A and B are shown apart, each in its own frame.
Chain A
Amino acid sequence: MSIVAYIAVMALVTYFIRMIPFTLFRKKIKSRFLKSLLYYVPYAVLSAMTIPAIFYSTGDMVTAIAGTVVAVILAYFNVPLIIVALSAAGVALGIGLLF
């Protein structure tokens, strides 16, 4: 499959999702179920994308789990996004260097 085709599909789908409601729609969504579904989808997507993929993200399960644990703890205490993300990588790197 051509990489250009992949990128074109990604870009077009993503653009139309943003563009159509922004330019065309004027009404508000009324259905409570639909509203609830759209409210939960981002959280569900991010969770399904992260787990279990995060455990394979560093190529070494031990460093990945260490990074994940640190990220979960920092995120739980509302530490800013970027610090959580970089700390996870820092810990994974540190553990990787140690062992």
Chain B
Amino acid sequence: MHGLMHGIPIALGYLSVSFGFGIMAVKSGLSPLEAAIISITNLTSAGQAAGVSIIATGGSLFEMAVTQFVINIRYSLMSLSLSQKLDKSFSPLKRLIASYGITDEIFAVASVQDGKLKPAYMYGMILIAFIGWVGGTCAGALAGEFLPSIVTDAMGIVLYGMFLAIIIPPARKNKSILFVITIAAVISVIFKYVFTSVSSGFAVIISALIAAILGALLFPVDDKEEEQ
């Protein structure tokens, strides 16, 4: 019950973002069913958006695997951190189930809870977030097929708007994050207009890795900063 309640704001946020994802997927040539299956099996925004663009441009499966790995590797840190907070009642099987639902938002809420995390709490929160994510995807994919294109075109920006809302506030407070996102953006632009033969998925990974490595070398974080 507690988990369900904590999941409601997450689900509401997911609804509108996944609505944008559904529209984007259909515009890229996927069917509503395929868009829904991607949301059911992945439950992640940035990875899914990158995945759809790889499918749309006919990228290789290797490119898909590497892209998903780099974009989603942050989850392994979150999983690692949450694994230290699990209640004894979390059996290996329950860990296998709950690990499916570790997203940025669920991690953020779960990691600040007092005491140990119980399976029922995690299941409840993941379930309601899942309903918001998949429901929004279906609604967006279906709406994408009959809404006027001027509306669906405008909705194409939703996911990117959310990404900006995630990276700008910390960059404002922390100069090293500002440095990293600026470098990543500049390299990404160079790929787009200069090294045009590099596919979009690899361009994102290479840009991000160069920027993150420079950030880690020039501005190594201490433990305090990491917890913010």
Residues of A within 8 A of B (CB): 1, 3, 5-7, 9-11, 13-15, 17-23, 25-26, 28-29, 32-33, 35-54, 57-60, 63-64, 67-68, 71-72, 74-76, 78-82, 84-90, 92-93, 96-97
Which one, B64, B95, B165, B180, contacts A47 given CB within 8 A?
Answer: B180
CB distance from A72 to the nearest CB of B (A): 6
A63–B140 Cα distance when bound, in Å, is 20
Q: Number of contact residues on B: which range applies?
A: 35 or more
Among residues of B, the one whose C-beta sits closest to the C-beta of A23 is B95
Mostly, the B contact residues are: helix
Docked-complex contact B38 and A10, CB < 8 angstroms: yes
Interface residues of B (CB under 8 A from A): 12-13, 16-17, 20, 30, 34, 37-38, 41-44, 46-51, 53-55, 58, 60-61, 64-65, 68-80, 82-84, 92, 95-96, 98-100, 102, 104, 150-151, 153-172, 176-177, 180-185, 187-189, 192, 200, 203-205, 207-209, 211-213, 215-217, 219-221, 225-226
Across the interface, do A32 and B220 meet the contact criterion of CB distance under 8 Å? yes
- Decide: B50 and A49 in contact? CB cutoff 8 A: yes
CB atoms of B156 and A57 under 8 A apart: yes
Give me 23 A-to-B residue pairs in the complex whose CB atoms sit less than 8 angstroms apart, sorted by A's number: A5-B61, A7-B41, A10-B41, A10-B48, A17-B72, A18-B78, A18-B100, A19-B79, A41-B74, A44-B211, A48-B184, A48-B204, A48-B207, A49-B46, A50-B185, A51-B185, A53-B200, A60-B153, A75-B164, A81-B165, A88-B158, A89-B155, A89-B156
**Closest 4 CB pairs between A and B?**
A88-B161, A93-B154, A11-B41, A36-B216
Residues in A with CB closer than 8 Å to B82 are 22
Decide: B177 and A84 in contact? CB cutoff 8 A.
no
B154 touches A92 (CB 8 A): yes
Residues of B within 8 A of A92 (CB): 153-154, 157
Q: Contacts A7-B41, A10-B47, A68-B157 hold; do A44 and B207 have CB atoms under 8 A apart? A: yes
A22 touches B79 (CB 8 A): yes
Q: A22-B83, A49-B49 are in contact. Are A44 and B55 (CB under 8 A)?
A: no
